[in-house]
Amino acid sequence: MEKALLEDLVHSLRLEVVYGEDELNRYITTSDISRPGLELTGYFNYYPADRLQMFGMKEISFCEKMGHEERCIIMRKLCNPKVPAIIIARNLEIPEELLKCAKKAKVPVLRSPLATSRLGGDVTNYLEEKLAVRSSVHGVLMDIYGLGVLIQGDSGIGKSETGLELIKKGHRLIADDRVDVFQHESKVTGEAPDILKNMMEIRGVGIIDVMNLFGASAVRKSARIQLVVYLENWTKDKQFDRLGHGDETTRIADVDIPKISIPVKTGRNVATIIEVAAMNYRARSMGYDATKMFNDRLSKLIEENAKNE
């Protein structure tokens, strides 16, 4: 089971720790968030104690209408030791009984100035990314004109060297050699393993630190994989797509990603070709298809020639 460290969530979303600075070394195992509305009425039959508990304006205003004794009873049940943390939105004032019971059960109490819906979305997005099942693929992941392009191919064909040329052209490196991928809905995101962040291996040179050599603008933490470019050695007996009719895909996680194959031989500037492939993919995704336009022109020319005969 994937787990997310509460301390990382606090730092990432800049949450205020009202109580529990020493209790942040606990793990969250679900991205679901509970807003304990029914529980505040006393109904605890299906209380999800394994979830983060979030209080917004509705929950806090409901607490204010309760008597002291009733609040104490409810808060003792809410502050189950299994609860990862209690988060208060809008910088709202925390009921004294809630804080007291949280301290007794050693449940961290956090607070944020964000609106409840915005805060809930940020927490959910963070946890879904952290808790997503991860796998690895071989290749070089680049950010080319804002498009996540995964460069794959046989060993020794020049993937890292092509990635280096793209960096010199102003594009950004996400990962070299091994790319950790995870799926969120129908999107696949790739990032570098911690040990390989900002690093590339260039045969004959060795390991280089891209951020140190080219600056912070040459690297990026992660990117959605939108296009796969497969480099393969050019041979006379193999046919390659020349008009762009191919609708080839490759499956990463449970998502089919568009794929194009580029033949590699002496004299071809592979980095420039990949740049153009990325631009062409973006144009097609925006509704401009050069192949379709060429086919339409060809069909029109054939029709005109047939009429003239």
Q: Which amino acids are annotated as binding site for Mg(2+), given as ranges?
A: 160, 201
DSSP E strand boundaries for 73-127:
86-88, 109-111
One-letter identity of residue 93: E
Q: Indicate if 138 belongs to the active site.
A: yes
d(CA 249, CA 210): 30
Q: Indicate if 251 belongs to the active site.
A: no
3-state secondary structure of 58: helix
d(CA 190, CA 135): 10
User: How many residues in total does the chain contain?
Assistant: 309
Q: Which of 11, 58, 68, 138 is catalytic?
A: 138
Q: Is the dihedral of CA 268, 272, 278, 280 positive or negative?
A: negative
Q: Indicate if 245 belongs to the active site.
A: no
Detail the residues annotated as belonging to a binding site for ATP. 153-160
C-beta separation of 280 from 244 below 8 A: yes
Q: Indicate if 184 belongs to the active site.
A: no
Q: Which of 14, 203, 242, 245 is catalytic?
A: 242
Q: Which of 51, 71, 159, 171 is catalytic?
A: 159
Question: CA of 58: how far to CAs of 38, 96, 120, in Å?
Answer: 12, 17, 14
Detail the residues annotated as belonging to a binding site. 153-160, 201
Q: Which of 177, 184, 282, 284 is catalytic?
A: 177
List residues with catalytic annotation.
Answer: 138, 159, 177, 242
